[in-house]
């Protein structure tokens, strides 16, 4: 707890291009949380290293993600927006916690199995111990709540197990994090395959709308979106493509699904898809304009990075010192 506020922690990897799914399903829901919680939002660049990165491109994407956080509406004065790799305590605590994590626990992680199958030429130790670094991310800030989706639920469970194991031996050192259940967040699926989630790494670029897509591209992708052989716009499990587009439309405009359905009574799929595209453009255009403005403010962004990195390091190192003391590691003598 910081200044009588509970701590909430999350972040995104600095790879790929964020999609409208990332925004509607997560980022959009982060915007008002700082009123109630002390929020830490990481640019998770260390996690990204489990896959080989092109250094110059990777460095640029990481900075762009931080700028995008701010352009989307996260106030860097009210939220701690920082680079994971700039706070060395993440890597240090990860090693320490790794000594309290069992091989069997890591072997059971479904995400490792999925990623190992996808990257058969690079099944590295970092991919295997990824959940330990994630546990360090969360536990460093004495986090009370972590927004999680189904794909991250297992990682939070192992984080809790590691923290409870450590506390069982050394006392009440680490806060046991709880899942934060967001308000009904949108689950946005691929425009080309509505059976799978929209992904920033989708090989089919027409399956995802990226936050930096221009209006013409957004219109083209929406027009190509998979629907069905019927003509009625309604939300139904039997109509996954249409339901996905309704989800996007309603979430962009702040409407309920029922209200969205009423907008398209007697309307054909062509006009429906155009309306979805216009709804997406209406929320992305202001964000893109602010993003482009911020990219020109190098000194301002640099000052935000320095200020927020320093804040993150302060709280992270407080926890790290407690852990090292409990473990009996020799303290560094202070200069006279």
Q: Looking at the annotation, which residues are catalytic?
A: 115, 197, 200
Cβ-Cβ contacts under 8 Å for 149 (sequence gap 6 or more): 25, 26
What would the DSSP string read from start to end of 140-177? HTT-SEEE--HHHHHHHHHHHHHHHHHHHHH-S-S---
> Quick one: DSSP state of residue 180?
E
CA 190 to the chain's CA centroid: 18
Question: What does the H/E/C string look like for 252-281?
Answer: HHCCCHHHHHHHCCCCCHHHHHHHHHHHHH
Question: What does the H/E/C string look like for 291-320?
Answer: HHHHHCCHHHHHHHHHHHHHHHHHHHHHHH
Contact of 129 with 95, CB cutoff 8 Å: no
Rounded to whole angstroms, the Cα distance separating 187 from 228 reads: 20
């Amino acid at each position: 707890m910081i200044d009588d506020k509970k701590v909430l922690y999350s972040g995104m990897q600095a790879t790929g291009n964020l999609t409208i799914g990332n925004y509607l399903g997560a980022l959009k829901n982060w915007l008002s949380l700082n009123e109630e919680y002390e929020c830490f939002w990481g640019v998770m660049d260390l996690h990204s290293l489990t896959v080989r990165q092109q250094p110059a491109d990777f460095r640029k994407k990481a900075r762009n993600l931080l700028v995008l956080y701010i352009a989307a509406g996260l106030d860097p004065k009210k939220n701690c927006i920082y680079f994971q790799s700039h706070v060395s305590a993440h890597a240090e605590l990860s090693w320490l916690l790794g000594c309290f994590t069992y091989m069997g626990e890591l072997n059971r992680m479904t995400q490792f199995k999925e990623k190992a199958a996808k990257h058969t030429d690079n099944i590295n130790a970092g991919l295997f111990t990824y959940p330990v670094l994630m546990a360090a991310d969360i536990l460093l800030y004495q986090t009370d709540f972590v927004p999680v989706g189904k794909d991250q639920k297992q990682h939070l469970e192992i984080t809790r197990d590691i923290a409870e194991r450590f506390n069982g031996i050394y006392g009440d050192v680490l806060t046991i994090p709880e899942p934060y259940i967001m308000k009904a967040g949108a689950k946005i699926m691929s425009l080309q395959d509505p059976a799978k989630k929209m992904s920033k790494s989708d090989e089919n670029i027409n399956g995802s709308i990226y936050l930096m897509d221009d209006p013409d591209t957004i219109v083209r992708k929406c027009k190509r979106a998979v629907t069905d052989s019927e003509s009625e716009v309604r939300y139904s499990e039997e109509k996954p493509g249409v339901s996905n587009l309704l989800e996007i439309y309603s979430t962009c405009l702040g409407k309920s699904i029922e209200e969205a359905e009423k907008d398209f009574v007697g309307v054909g799929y062509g006009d429906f898809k155009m309306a979805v595209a216009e709804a997406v453009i209406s929320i992305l255009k202001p964000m893109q304009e602010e993003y482009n403005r911020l990219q020109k403010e190098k000194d301002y962004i640099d000052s935000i990075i320095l200020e927020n990195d320093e804040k993150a390091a302060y709280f992270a190192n407080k926890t790290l010192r407690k852990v090292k003391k409990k473990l009996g590691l020799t303290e560094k003598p202070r200069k006279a």
